């Protein structure tokens, strides 16, 4: 007789091997269905792992960028509100200057106005020392102390604190007071001169100060627009970060997560296959010529 | 003319031959599932005819031998392949254990800790003076150092476990080598017949196990004994066996040696089987540890350099954040400064000595290290860790794929061997029927002769 002979041991070992293969596949499918993960360790997809790591790290970074963005936009809101009040304060000072520049105003009226301007000066010092979360907004990087003392002397630093709001994207997270209050126009010196001019009944100086106050208002408004610009940059960064986070999460899910329907179908199919294989194995192992003789 | 009495002898030879056939078939059936059993068959021949009265009269059948079906070339090929397949299996299993230390599914792997550390630095940029944020950086740094320690220690322990397993396997191998030597003697003494066949099966089974355990080769001598070789050196020759010695050298690599007259010969490069797989796996794990050491050392040095260039919250130049003992292993020994854990203000986030709380210039430089090519001057620490994990993953996937392929080849060889020399129960059933019929026929001959003798007796 020629051809292949199927020895009993060969049939037995083949059946054992086949059942082992299906059993291993079934175990994998059960694991996938339970964890919901197609890739759970580096050997599952070695080439993809650096990408998975980058997506996990990137997604985590985006969450922190958004936290920093929330923080700086809140800070901008407080700073803008303070500068709005500074603008109002200067506008009021300008109104007083215009009215006090008139030759018809007497010295006692100017003395009374001087008291109001002094109050505005004090208010300006207060606004210049505005803080958010215990950080003085206009003290630069030295934000744990006041930006200005009562005499209008700058106590802060000339460096601007920053915050990271995106990959290689840094934004101001505080301001240098001298840029805001002592840029082209020294607001403290201006109000101080104004008080002196009022008490000394110096009309010429008062007239001269109206123009300076006007420039001061413009200076503050200009700074507010700079804050507004940074605010927009932060908002754009937030949109980008949210979008990137979504894309990264989707890509990560696409890479590591198993399709639940596919995983369940695979599991059920393998369960049927395993049961069928067991029945075939039982039949194959029990078939023998000895049964018939 | 042949006598009736002589015919009885002829009939008896048929009975004896049929009984040997039935006995052999039943031996085959009962060993149908015995590992390594080769089917046996009865070798018969015609007994020499005798010249009686000028006629050559047949004398029946001679039962010469019970032969074991075997093919030493195919058998040896199976043994070699079992060594290759076992090596691939052992390597894949061992590397799978190494993968546990690079698994991030429980969120406590190196990458997770590395991310957490750089995330803490990123958070600190929102307020470098915030003591809670500074402390978070310190604790994250400590957790990162712990993670490197744990991974390195885990890999070192795994190497030790695998080495112990290789030593235990070598001890088993030495016992088996002695058994082969003993069986060699017994086979040579038995000379042939079913006893020698069963001894050869038993010996070949042990050779198969030896193949699986250290991937030896063997040649078969004319007296039936096997000479077993490891890396070209005979470890069993006739009734003599030598010893296999496995030990870990100072570099953590496994060394496999065979005892020879003058001492030991290194056969590390030549062994396969489980021991060979463990040698390969331990060597790969050693390379992972070395790569991890390079990553840790380069990262720690780079981070310390940035920290040293900056100033702490008091405006003092930064002190080292990480320390390690390169000789013992950077990954195993890296530590985060306990002084900084006690006082996180020592973190040198500032770029100037002015002690400005919002000065984050150096903090930004620290953050840049996440993507700077600090490891071997070409990779960021994050990428280097990812690449190492990827390398481990590739090695395991490759080892599993090899193991699968080599097991498939082995199964094909086993199937071929089993097909050629295994027991087919159906065939044995037919043999039984045939031998039974032969027995009945021979018995009938005797019965006929008996009747003839009876008839003859009645005539007297």
**Joined tokens for residue B226:** 């096997």
| pLDDT of A84 higher than 60 | yes
Using the Cβ of A64 and the Cβ atoms of chain B, whether some distance falls under 8 Å is answered with: yes
Taken in order A161, A163, A164, A170, is the CA torsion positive or negative? negative
CB < 8 Å to B392, chain A: 42-43, 46
Contact B33 A174 (CB under 8 A): no
Give the mean model confidence (pLDDT) for residues A127-155.
95
Using the Cβ of B189 and the Cβ atoms of chain A, whether some distance falls under 8 Å is answered with: no
Q: Would you say A132 and A73 are in contact if contact means Cβ atoms under 8 Å apart?
A: no
- In eight-state DSSP terms, residue A257 is B
pLDDT for residue A1: 45
pLDDT averaged over chain B?
Answer: 90
Quick: pLDDT tens for B423-445.
888 888 888 999 999 999 999 98
Q: How confident is the model at residue A161 (pLDDT cuts 50, 70, 90)?
A: very high
ipTM of this complex? 0.81
Q: Would you say B102 and B109 are in contact if contact means Cβ atoms under 8 Å apart?
A: yes
Q: Could you tell me which of B269, B268, B242, B273 has the C-alpha nearest to residue B257?
A: B268
Pick from A8, A57, A144: which is nearest to B425 by CB?
A8
How does DSSP assign B431-459, residue by residue?
Answer: HHHHHHHHHHHHHHHHHHHHHHHHHHHHH
pLDDT for residue A204: 94
Contact B419 A4 (CB under 8 A): yes
Q: Which residue, among B102, B118, B356, would best test binding to A if mutated, counting the most A CBs under 10 Å from its CB?
A: B356
Q: How confident is the model at residue A132 (pLDDT cuts 50, 70, 90)?
A: very high
Q: Would you say B325 and B334 are in contact if contact means Cβ atoms under 8 Å apart?
A: no
Beta strands in A21-176 (DSSP E): 131-132, 135-136, 162-166, 169-172
pLDDT for residue A128: 97
Quick: pLDDT tens for A51-83.
888 898 899 999 999 999 999 999 999 999 999
Quick: pLDDT tens for B367-384.
999 999 999 999 999 999
Q: How confident is the model at residue B41 (pLDDT cuts 50, 70, 90)?
A: confident
Contact A163 B357 (CB under 8 A): no
Give the mean model confidence (pLDDT) for residues B185-204.
78
pLDDT for residue B193: 54
What are the C-alpha distances in Å from B73 to residues A178, A237, B79, B80, B416?
Answer: 94, 72, 10, 11, 13
Quick: pLDDT tens for B125-160.
999 999 999 999 999 999 999 999 999 999 999 999
Quick: pLDDT tens for A230-284.
999 999 999 999 999 999 999 988 888 888 888 888 889 989 888 888 888 887 7
pLDDT for residue A15: 82
Quick: pLDDT tens for B280-318.
999 999 999 999 999 999 999 999 999 999 999 999 999
Give the mean model confidence (pLDDT) for residues B220-248.
88
Quick: pLDDT tens for B4-24.
788 888 889 999 999 999 998
pLDDT for residue B195: 60
Question: Which residue in chain B is spatially nearest to A71 when comparing CA positions?
Answer: B126
Pick from A133, A161, A293: which is nearest to B360 by CB?
A161
Contact A173 B33 (CB under 8 A): no
Contact B386 A54 (CB under 8 A): yes
Quick: pLDDT tens for B48-60.
888 877 888 888 8
Contact A164 B96 (CB under 8 A): no
Give the mean model confidence (pLDDT) for residues A112-121.
96
Considering only A114-118, A288-292, B386-390, which range has the smallest mean pLDDT? A288-292
| Angle, helix A49-100 to helix B110-124, in steps of 10 degrees | 10
| pLDDT of A292 higher than 80 | no
What are the C-alpha distances in Å from B409 to residues A206, B20, B78, B79, B253?
Answer: 103, 37, 9, 12, 30
How does DSSP assign B19-45, residue by residue?
Answer: HHHHHHHHHHHHTTTSTT---EEEEEE
| pLDDT of A2 higher than 60 | no
Q: How confident is the model at residue B194 (pLDDT cuts 50, 70, 90)?
A: low
Q: How confident is the model at residue B36 (pLDDT cuts 50, 70, 90)?
A: confident
B280: closest CA of chain A, how far (Å): 18
CB < 8 Å to B429, chain A: 288-290, 293
Pick from B34, B358, B383: which is nearest to A141 by CB?
B358
Q: Would you say B124 and B313 are in contact if contact means Cβ atoms under 8 Å apart?
A: no
Q: How confident is the model at residue B1 (pLDDT cuts 50, 70, 90)?
A: very low
Give the mean model confidence (pLDDT) for residues A108-115.
95
């Amino acid at each position: 007789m020629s051809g292949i002979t199927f020895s009993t041991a060969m049939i037995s070992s083949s059946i054992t091997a086949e059942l082992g293969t299906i059993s291993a596949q079934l175990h994998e499918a059960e694991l996938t269905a339970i964890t919901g993960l197609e890739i759970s360790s580096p050997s599952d997809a070695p080439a993809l792992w650096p990408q998975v790591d980058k997506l996990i790290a990137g997604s985590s970074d985006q969450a922190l960028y958004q936290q920093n963005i929330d923080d700086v936009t809140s800070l901008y809101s407080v700073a803008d509100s303070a500068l709005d009040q500074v603008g109002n304060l200067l506008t009021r000072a300008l109104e007083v200057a215009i009215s006090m520049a008139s030759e018809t105003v007497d010295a006692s009226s100017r003395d009374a106005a001087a008291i109001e301007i002094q109050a505005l000066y004090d208010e300006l010092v207060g606004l210049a020392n505005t803080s958010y979360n215990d950080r003085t907004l206009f003290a630069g990087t030295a934000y744990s102390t006041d930006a200005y003392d009562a005499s209008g002397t700058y106590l802060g630093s000339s460096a601007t604190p920053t915050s990271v709001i995106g990959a290689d994207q840094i934004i101001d997270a505080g301001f240098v007071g001298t840029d805001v209050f002592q840029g082209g126009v020294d607001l403290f010196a201006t109000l101080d001169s104004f008080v002196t001019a009022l008490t000394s009944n110096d009309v010429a100086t008062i007239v001269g100060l109206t123009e300076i106050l006007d420039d001061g208002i413009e200076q503050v408004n200009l700074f507010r627009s700079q804050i507004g610009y940074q605010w927009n940059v932060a908002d754009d960064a937030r949109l980008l970060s949210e979008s990137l986070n979504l894309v990264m999460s989707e890509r990560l899910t696409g890479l590591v997560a198993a399709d639940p329907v596919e995983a369940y179908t695979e599991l059920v199919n393998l369960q049927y296959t395993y049961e069928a294989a067991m029945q075939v194995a039982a039949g194959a192992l029990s078939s023998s010529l000895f049964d018939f003789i | 003319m042949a006598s009736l009495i002589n015919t009885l002898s002829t009939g008896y030879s048929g009975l004896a031959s049929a009984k040997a056939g039935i006995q052999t078939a039943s031996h085959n059936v009962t060993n149908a599932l015995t590992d390594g059993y080769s089917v046996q068959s009865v070798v018969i021949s015609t007994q020499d005819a005798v010249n009686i009265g000028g006629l050559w009269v047949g004398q029946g059948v001679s039962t010469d031998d019970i032969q074991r079906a075997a093919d030493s070339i195919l058998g040896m090929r199976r043994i070699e392949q079992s060594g290759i397949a076992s090596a691939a299996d052992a390597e894949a299993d061992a590397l799978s254990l190494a993968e546990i230390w690079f698994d991030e599914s429980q969120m406590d792997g190196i990458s997770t800790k590395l991310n957490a550390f750089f995330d803490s630095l990123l958070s600190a940029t929102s307020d470098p003076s915030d003591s809670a944020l500074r402390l978070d950086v310190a604790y994250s740094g400590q957790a990162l150092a712990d993670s490197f320690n744990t991974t390195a220690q885990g890999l070192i322990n795994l190497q030790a476990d695998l080495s112990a397993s290789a030593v235990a396997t070598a001890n088993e191998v030495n016992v088996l080598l002695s058994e082969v030597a003993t069986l060699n003697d017994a086979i040579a003494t038995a000379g042939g017949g079913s006893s020698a066949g069963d001894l050869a099966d038993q010996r070949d089974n042990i050779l198969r196990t030896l193949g699986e355990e250290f991937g030896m080769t063997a040649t078969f001598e004319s007296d039936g004994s096997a000479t077993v070789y490891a890396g070209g050196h005979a470890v069993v020759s006739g009734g003599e066996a030598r010893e296999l010695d496995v030990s870990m050298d100072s570099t953590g690599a496994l060394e496999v040696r065979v005892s020879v007259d003058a001492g030991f010969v290194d056969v590390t490069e030549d062994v396969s089987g489980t021991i060979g797989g463990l040698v390969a796996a331990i060597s790969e794990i050693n390379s992972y540890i070395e790569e991890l050491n390079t990553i840790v050392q380069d990262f720690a040095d780079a981070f310390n350099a940035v920290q040293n260039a900056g100033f702490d919250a008091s405006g003092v130049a930064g002190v080292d954040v990480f320390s390690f003992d390169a000789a013992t292993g950077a990954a195993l020994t890296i530590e985060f400064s306990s002084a900084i854990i006690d006082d996180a203000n020592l973190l040198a986030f500032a770029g100037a000595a002015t002690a400005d709380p919002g000065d984050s210039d150096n903090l930004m430089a620290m953050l840049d290290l996440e993507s700077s090519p600090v490891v071997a001057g070409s990779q960021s620490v994050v990428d280097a860790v990812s690449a190492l994990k990827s390398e481990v993953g590739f090695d395991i996937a490759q080892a599993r794929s090899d193991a699968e392929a080599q097991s498939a080849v082995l199964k094909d060889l086993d199937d071929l061997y089993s097909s050629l020399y295994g027991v087919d129960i159906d065939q044995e059933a037919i043999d039984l029927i045939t031998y039974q019929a032969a027995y009945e026929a021979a018995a009938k001959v005797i019965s006929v002769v008996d009747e003839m003798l009876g008839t003859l007796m009645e005539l007297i």
